[in-house]
Amino acid sequence: MFESAELGHKIDKETFRQEEPKLRAALLDTQFDLRENGKFPVVILVSGVDGSGKGETINVLYEWMDPRYLSTLAFSAPTDEERERPYMWRYWRALPPKGRIGIFAGSWYSNPIAEHIQGNLAKGDLDQRMDQINRFEAMLVNEGALVLKFWFHLSKDGQRQRLKAIEKDPRTAWRVTKESWARLKTYDKLQEAAGHVLRMTNTPWAPWIVVEGTDDRYRSLTVGKVVLDALQKRLADTREQNYPVAPPMTHKIDTLDVLTALDLTQQLEKKAYEAQLAKWQGRLSELVRYPEFKKHSLIIAFEGSDAAGKGGSIRRVTAAIDARQYQIVPVAAPTEEERAQPYLWRFWRHIPRVGRVSIFDRTWYGRVLVERVEGFCAEADWLRAYSEINDFEHELHKDGAIVIKFWLQISDKEQLRRFKEREKIEFKRFKITEEDWRNRDKSAAYHAAVCDMVDRTSTSTAPWTLVEANDKSFARVKILRTICERLEKALNTEKSAAKSNKDK
């Protein structure tokens, strides 16, 4: 993929002098149109070999465009806070909002390539990581983002000459470090790894642009014109940007499903409830203080029918945990800030560090529930959301998070009783709204959406637990018991694996 970037491309001073003013003016005009349009963000990845002009190119873009609407994110070794969260967390936080341009100096590609060169990431694991990145970038594009990926290339001799020239100039000598010269020794390994990565991730929705980095004027004009052309075409294209990533829904031919199969008559008497509640709350309190838990985070997701008892269940869970150790994240309609980002962004920002607990009262499943039923997003959006959510939860699990998901189900008759009760009791009136009553008229649509959600997102790493919630006591105990059992399984499995490795 690098042959065309080793031909010795150059632009003479006169040509550059004539082209630069026109390009700068067009970029500023188009950037203004992007801000006014406000419908999509631009993500620019700047990667390549040392000395190829990555930093200089970023500086040129800042000079040629309005810096107030650009942001540059430089990623090196992760901080302690970043290491205690999933790998992609820091990149999600850095995504630009709609109408703005984010330039990533170093990106989600940097660490996998470096780890592979160092021998810490096998070829198969590298391929798996690239497959995850492809799906992540497809999600960004489906959410409307324009993703531009630049790889700045130099031949081995070209890199050596560039480093010497940069080091010789007092104004730029600081850019060349011992690590720069050390990485020159691994040039061949980098080219092999980078060539493989670029082939694996050169997708129609986020292709790589390989640019020769020898000549500053050529590099600057090339990048400027690519950015300008891509922006102008994207602004002029009013078509949906979706790439289908999910099969269509299948039609059911009988009435049996995961919800109708539940036995909602199950109950727990008061005395048994009090004993079981104390037992499982005590066990949960022990588990989150267990030394092995400090290697994990716990994410508990609550969904359910209106008035199914999510709030009461959450209070019974938090009663067993130190208030300094958990946060409750209530999820309502997205804010303006959240609407300017991919829909999963507002959930990534609340992912806890290891040793902590996040409890979501409503979740990322709103995309395939309320947004689907109420028509707040297109069919293509909620269809692809199933695989995107599975990727999200897999990423959490892979990095040590324990994800536990509950759906609380009650009968229509019980829901009606609770609605009327809430209207009568003064301190519960805030819980019932016109929207709750209106949603009852769409119960069949919500029923179908919940069944599809469970069928498509109940995985081995993040299974759904369906809770029969007509009896609040039964539901609360089942939830606490499930959390404890999942925690015990995760922590004991890790302890057994550690003991096995020690015995070897």
Q: Is the pLDDT of residue 85 over 60?
A: yes
Contact call for residues 127 and 112 (beta carbons, < 8 A): no
Residue 172 — pLDDT band, cuts 50, 70, 90?
confident
In whole angstroms, what is the distance from residue 112 CA to residue 47 CA? 13
Residue closest to 265 by CA, chosen among 411, 97, 454, 73: 411
As its CATH architecture, domain 3-236 has: 3-Layer(aba) Sandwich (3.40)
| Report for 44-53, 209-218, 315-324: range of highest mean pLDDT | 315-324
Average pLDDT, the chain: 90
Tell me the one-letter amino acid at 333. Answer: A
Q: Is the pLDDT of residue 244 over 90?
A: no
Please tell me the predicted confidence (pLDDT) of residue 426.
64
Q: Considering only 141-150, 250-259, 342-351, 387-396, which range has the smallest mean pLDDT?
A: 250-259
Q: What is the pTM of this model?
A: 0.86
In whole angstroms, what is the distance from residue 162 CA to residue 187 CA? 14
Helix ranges, 237-301 (H): 270-287
Q: Considering only 78-92, 96-110, 179-193, 342-356, which range has the smallest mean pLDDT?
A: 179-193
In whole angstroms, what is the distance from residue 231 CA to residue 225 CA? 10
Q: Considering only 84-93, 102-111, 335-344, 422-431, which range has the smallest mean pLDDT?
A: 422-431
Domain ranges of the chain: 3-236, 270-503
Q: Considering only 232-241, 354-363, 447-456, which range has the smallest mean pLDDT?
A: 232-241
Pick the CATH number of 270-503 from 3.40.50.170, 3.10.20.340, 3.40.50.300, 3.20.20.70: 3.40.50.300
Across the range 193-209, mean pLDDT stands at 93
Q: Is the pLDDT of residue 402 over 70?
A: yes
pLDDT tens column, 100-157: 999 999 889 999 998 999 899 999 999 999 999 999 999 999 999 999 999 999 888 8
Q: Is the pLDDT of residue 331 over 50?
A: yes
Q: Is the pLDDT of residue 434 over 60?
A: yes
* CA 442 from centre of chain: 31
